[in-house]
């Protein structure tokens, strides 16, 4: 499988703060990768490094290109949506499409117009007069109408309601994703993207704690809910995390044979959010 | 090139209101001046008179004694010979035209400063810089489009305004205020307007070359600061000028800027104030002379060198200094 993104010992410091610490990973084509971490973990720094917005130590190759020195060439194949509205406020929607068409050789105006018909955005309106949700929709339409190989989403639904967030990710899946393309989406609301991710990267204090496929995570981690009287027994399995839920004890266990503990209680697949919290050092 | 022109178009669309307002206000000023000359003309035409031209003499012959509107002295002859007056009239008009042209020049420099100080800062402050940087276009091209728009684009505006002025002087003044400005009309008709426009363009190209370090300085500040780019840029410039004066005595930096106005003022003096006094002269009015000796000077070399350093710094900082906050 082709590697779209390769990071090798990537390090980035802001003053004394290490934002990325020796990050090494490969992301192949056809993946939807969730970049998950608490605020200040280094998610945005990683995405900015991938899109050539910042300098860094180490090596990065996105589609075989160095994003810092070949950003213009890379952007021909990469779409980016940020966590804040970044479209020029003074432009009208049709002017933005004109501009995008003139600037981007892989942009299809007709496709963009078609995508906009699914929204309530009028092409004559000024961008500054659109709501935040509309601005995100407009930006998404621009990106979906651009034939890019990688879509990088940096908390794209930040500050938007749940209905819009669902619609957003549905559009990304239906109108963009195929086996040749990859999506990297950073978020700290993991539960809303959990269903669409193929892989997940947990990042904390600039370091990658875990990079695994969701399928493997489901195999690797188990959640066992037992009555209080079996708590001590489960603790002998060295759980990653332990918590209480309506009078019962909940354990998150790694590499567990479910049959071994089934007699004590209910064994389920944990949510990504639970694994994330456990790995971050909180309780599951 | 398609991308570059799209970037230039983007700048124009974003700033077009300023261009239209400036052009509109300037046009309004010219119309008001034209209206003034129209009123004067009307007042004169209420009287019955005839015009004669005899060599350098322009004679206004009033049909009735005492109708001369320029004097209350009834004993003064109804026949006025304007031997000296053409040059006086022209001198007044020379000052008007000079004021308008230097005014345009000053306005253009102000606009360029406002634009260049805000050009990068604005996109950084409203975060649209992320959008522009997500496009397949190099930073060099983005910055280049801003620099070209802030210099060449604004020069084109200057050209539009000066063309309006020339049209005003050439068509409206002699046409409407024919009587009182007959002499000036005759003189104005001797001017080589093509030459004047050519000199205007040459002057601005030189100005562009020599003031390019200042243009890039303002662009540099625009990429650098977290707030108030114009104030910062002008403030630092004033501070540097004062330090320079304290260390080396002459006002080096302001002189460099005002020198350009002075040069054009001298040209206008020759074009509009001295040459018209030789009304029948058919010799061409030499203004700058050849353009090239002005280009190949130490001053140009230094300007290009400083511009290169500022340009490199601007590019470097633009890549690193993305957001305002």
DSSP conformation letters of B59-114? EEEESSTT--TT---TTS-SEEE-SSHHHHHHHHHHHHHHHHHHHHHHHHHHHHHH
Give A133→chain B minimum CA distance, Å: 17
Interface contact flag, B126 A89, Cβ < 8 Å: yes
Model ipTM over 0.95: no
Residue B36 main-chain phi, psi, to 5 deg: -60, -45
Judge contact between B319 and A52, C-beta under 8 A. no
Taking Cα atoms as reference points, which of A189, A197, A135 lies closest to residue A162?
A189
Q: For residues B192 and A74, which has the higher predicted lDDT (pLDDT)?
A: A74
Cβ of residue A71 closer than 8 Å to a chain B Cβ: yes
Interface contact flag, A86 B123, Cβ < 8 Å: no
Taking Cα atoms as reference points, which of B83, B90, B78, B77 lies closest to residue B57?
B83
Cα separation, A255 vs A242, whole angstroms: 16
Judge contact between A222 and A268, C-beta under 8 A. yes
Angle at B140 between CA A12 and CA A57, to 5 degrees: 15
Q: For residues B172 and B168, which has the higher predicted lDDT (pLDDT)?
A: B168
Give B144→chain A minimum CA distance, Å: 15
Please report which confidence band the pLDDT of residue A83 belongs to, taking 50, 70 and 90 as the band edges.
Answer: confident
Summary mean pLDDT of chain B:
73
Interface contact flag, B6 A104, Cβ < 8 Å: no
What's the half-sphere exposure (Cβ side, CA atoms, 13 Å) at A138? 31
Cα separation, B58 vs B186, whole angstroms: 10
Please report which confidence band the pLDDT of residue B121 belongs to, taking 50, 70 and 90 as the band edges.
Answer: very high
| A266 bridge partner residues | A225
| A11 bridge partner residues | A57
CB contacts, 8 Å: B129 with chain A: 86
Give A167→chain B minimum CA distance, Å: 23
Interface contact flag, B3 A102, Cβ < 8 Å: yes
Question: Tokens at residue A58, please?
Answer: 């180490």
Give A234→chain B minimum CA distance, Å: 49
Residue B69: per-residue pLDDT: 56
CB contacts, 8 Å: A51 with chain B: 133-134
CA distances from A123 to A129, A130, A274 (A): 12, 11, 43
Average confidence (pLDDT) over B5-18: 91
Q: For residues B273 and A242, which has the higher predicted lDDT (pLDDT)?
A: A242
Closest CB to A75: pick one of B13, B127, B135: B135
Residue A167: per-residue pLDDT: 81
SS3 A38: coil
Please report which confidence band the pLDDT of residue B282 belongs to, taking 50, 70 and 90 as the band edges.
Answer: very low
Judge contact between B165 and B226, C-beta under 8 A. no
Interface contact flag, A75 B130, Cβ < 8 Å: no
One-letter-per-residue 3-state SS of A147-183: CCCEEEEECCCCCCCHHHHHHHHHHHHHHCCCCCCEE
Residue A238, phi-psi category: left (phi > 0), alpha (psi -120 to 50), beta (remainder): left
Residue B8: per-residue pLDDT: 93
Cα separation, B160 vs B192, whole angstroms: 18
Helix axes of B154-167 and B85-125: crossing angle, nearest 10 degrees: 150
Cβ of residue A18 closer than 8 Å to a chain B Cβ: no
Residue A220 pLDDT greater than 70, yes or no: yes
Residue B58: per-residue pLDDT: 58
Closest CB to A88: pick one of B5, B128, B134: B128
Closest CB to A80: pick one of B10, B13, B134: B134
Interface contact flag, B137 A75, Cβ < 8 Å: yes
What are the pLDDT digits (tens) for B26-62?
Answer: 888 877 877 776 666 666 666 666 666 665 555 666 6
Helix (H) or strand (E) holding A239: none
Interface contact flag, B3 A91, Cβ < 8 Å: no
Please report which confidence band the pLDDT of residue B66 belongs to, taking 50, 70 and 90 as the band edges.
Answer: low
Judge contact between B104 and B26, C-beta under 8 A. yes
Return residues 103-162 of A near B (CB < 8 Å): 103-105
Helix (H) or strand (E) holding A143: helix A132-144
Cβ of residue A55 closer than 8 Å to a chain B Cβ: yes
Please report which confidence band the pLDDT of residue B276 belongs to, taking 50, 70 and 90 as the band edges.
Answer: very low
Cα separation, B94 vs B269, whole angstroms: 8
Chain B contact residues (CB < 8 Å to A): 2-3, 5-7, 9-10, 13-14, 123, 126-131, 133-139, 319-320, 322
Summary mean pLDDT of chain A:
86
Residue A38 main-chain phi, psi, to 5 deg: -70, 170
Helix (H) or strand (E) holding A196: none
Residue A205, phi-psi category: left (phi > 0), alpha (psi -120 to 50), beta (remainder): left
Residue B184: per-residue pLDDT: 47
Q: What is the DSSP letter of A269?
A: P
């Amino acid at each position: 499988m082709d590697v779209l993104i390769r990071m090798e010992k990537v390090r980035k410091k802001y003053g004394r703060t290490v934002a990325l610490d020796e990050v090494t990973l490969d992301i192949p084509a056809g993946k939807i990768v969730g970049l998950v971490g608490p605020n200040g973990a280094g998610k945005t720094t990683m995405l900015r490094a991938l899109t050539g917005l910042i300098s860094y130590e180490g090596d990065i190759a996105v589609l075989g290109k160095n994003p810092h020195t070949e950003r213009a060439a890379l952007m021909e194949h990469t779409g980016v949506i940020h966590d804040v509205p970044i479209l020029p406020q003074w432009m009208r929607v049709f002017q933005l499409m004109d501009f995008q068409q003139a600037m981007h050789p892989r942009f299809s105006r007709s496709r963009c117009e078609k995508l906009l018909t699914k929204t309530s955005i009028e092409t004559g309106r000024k961008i500054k007069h659109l709501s935040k949700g509309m601005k995100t929709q407009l930006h998404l339409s621009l990106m979906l109408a651009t034939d890019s190989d990688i879509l990088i989403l940096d908390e794209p639904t930040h500050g938007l309601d749940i209905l819009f967030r669902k619609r957003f990710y549905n559009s990304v899946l239906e109108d963009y994703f195929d086996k040749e393309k990859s999506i990297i989406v950073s978020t700290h609301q993991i539960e809303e993207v959990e269903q669409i991710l193929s892989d997940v990267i947990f990042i904390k204090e600039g370091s990658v704690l875990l990079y695994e496929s969701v399928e493997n995570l489901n195999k690797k981690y188990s959640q066992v809910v037992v009555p209080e009287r079996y708590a001590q027994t489960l603790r002998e399995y060295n759980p990653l995390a332990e918590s209480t839920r309506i009078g019962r004890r909940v354990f998150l266990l790694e590499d567990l044979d479910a049959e071994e503990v089934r007699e004590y209680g209910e064994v389920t697949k944990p949510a990504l959010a639970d694994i994330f919290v456990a790995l971050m050092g909180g309780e599951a | 090139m398609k991308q570059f022109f799209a970037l230039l178009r983007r700048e124009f669309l974003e700033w077009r209101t300023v261009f239209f307002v400036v052009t509109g206000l300037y046009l309004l000023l010219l119309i008001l001046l034209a209206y003034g000359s129209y009123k004067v003309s009307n007042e004169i035409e209420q009287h019955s008179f005839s015009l004669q031209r005899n060599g350098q003499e322009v004679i206004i012959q009033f049909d009735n004694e005492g109708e001369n509107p320029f004097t209350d002295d009834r004993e003064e002859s109804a026949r006025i010979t304007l031997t000296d007056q053409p040059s006086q009239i022209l001198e007044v008009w020379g000052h008007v035209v000079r004021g308008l042209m230097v005014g345009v020049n000053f306005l253009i420099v102000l606009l360029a400063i406002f634009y260049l100080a805000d050009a990068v800062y604005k996109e950084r402050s409203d975060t649209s810089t992320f959008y522009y940087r997500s496009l397949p276009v190099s930073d060099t091209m983005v910055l280049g489009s801003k620099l070209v728009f802030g210099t060449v684009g604004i020069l084109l505006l200057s050209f539009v305004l000066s063309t309006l002025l020339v049209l005003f002087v050439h068509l409206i003044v002699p046409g409407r205020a024919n009587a009182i400005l007959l002499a000036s009309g005759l003189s104005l008709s001797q001017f080589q307007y093509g030459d004047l426009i050519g000199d205007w363009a040459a002057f601005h190209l030189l100005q562009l070359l020599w003031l390019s370090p200042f243009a890039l300085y303002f662009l540099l500040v625009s990429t650098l600061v977290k707030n108030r780019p114009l104030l910062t840029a002008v403030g630092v410039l004033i501070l540097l000028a004062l330090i320079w004066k304290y260390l080396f005595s002459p006002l080096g930096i302001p002189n460099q800027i005002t020198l350009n106005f002075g040069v054009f003022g001298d040209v206008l003096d020759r074009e509009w104030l001295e040459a018209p006094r030789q009304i029948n002269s058919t010799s061409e009015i030499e203004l700058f002379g050849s353009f090239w000796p002005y280009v190949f000077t130490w001053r140009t070399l230094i300007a290009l060198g400083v511009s290169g350093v500022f340009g490199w710094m601007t590019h470097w900082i633009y890549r690193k200094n993305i957001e305002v906050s």
